[in-house]
Amino acid sequence: MKLWDVPVSGNCKKVRIAARELGIELERMSLDPSKGENQRPEYVEKNPMGKVPTIEDDGFVLWESAAIVVYLAKKLPAKRLLPADPRGEADALRWLFWGASHVGPNVQRLGQERVYKARLGGGPPDPAIVAAAEKELARFVPVLEQQLASQPHVLGRDYSVADIVLGCTFDSARMVQYDLAPFPAIRAWLERLQARPAWRE
């Protein structure tokens, strides 16, 4: 299976970790966005967004990191990264959509303002954008904190695609200076995830 990725991207890390957990071999094609490699016609033909990650599995092209992780998990159901029953699967999808709608975009805004602008000489962070992202996160992150206060993983006892996808998003949140100090259950969960071989590698 081929993966087009950017090594530092949290969205690509979700795919690499899921593949490692499942024992799926990836042939990695790393792109350098600073050289515009993600905007080259041969790549945009596969992913019209010009974003990473994208996979190709025997001619099947797929982009959007959470969809890719679900696809990988469904290829190897015996590994039980995605609950098999309809309610369990819907619960997993609920958390993936939650992360993609309420957390991921705000973390990306913080990254853009606090990290990439500085790196690309784009000037100081815009305080209005930072404040708006922080306000949204302040509303939604406590929901996950509550979920993890009484159970080791997002769906309960078992490790799943929800831990892989949301764990990478929250790992990125930490890297863009989102303060996780008020969220001890999330911090403990991230430590548990990072102790897994697939995460360490």
Ligand X SMILES: N[C@@H](CCC(=O)N[C@@H](CS)C(=O)NCC(=O)O)C(=O)O
Q: Are 53 and 9 in contact (CB under 8 A)?
A: yes
Q: CB 58 → ligand X: shortest distance, Å? A: 21
The verdict on 65 binding ligand X (CB under 6 A) reads yes
Q: Are 83 and 53 in contact (CB under 8 A)?
A: no
Q: CB 63 → ligand X: shortest distance, Å? A: 6
The verdict on 106 binding ligand X (CB under 6 A) reads no
Q: CB 42 → ligand X: shortest distance, Å? A: 16
Q: Binding mask 11-30 vs ligand X (x if CB under 6 A, - otherwise)? A: x-------------------
Q: Which is nearer to ligand X, 52 or 92 (CB)?
A: 52
| Partners of residue 60 on adjacent β-strands | 57
Give the 3-state secondary structure of 47-111. Answer: CCCCCCCEEEECCEEEECHHHHHHHHHHHCHHHCCCCCCHHHHHHHHHHHHHHHHHHHHHHHHHH
H or E element that contains 25: none
H or E element that contains 29: strand 27-30
Q: CB 4 → ligand X: shortest distance, Å? A: 10
Phi/psi region, residue 177 (left: phi>0; alpha: psi -120 to 50; beta: rest), is left
For ligand X, which residue of 17, 18, 19, 52 counts as binding (CB under 6 A)?
Answer: 52
Q: Which stretch binds ligand X (CB under 6 A): 46-54, 82-90, 121-129, 177-185?
A: 46-54
The count of residues interacting with ligand X (CB under 6 A) is 12
For ligand X, which residue of 56, 64, 91, 145 counts as binding (CB under 6 A)?
Answer: 64
Q: Which is nearer to ligand X, 50 or 156 (CB)?
A: 50
Residues in contact with ligand X by CB under 6 A are 6, 9-11, 33, 38, 50-53, 64-65
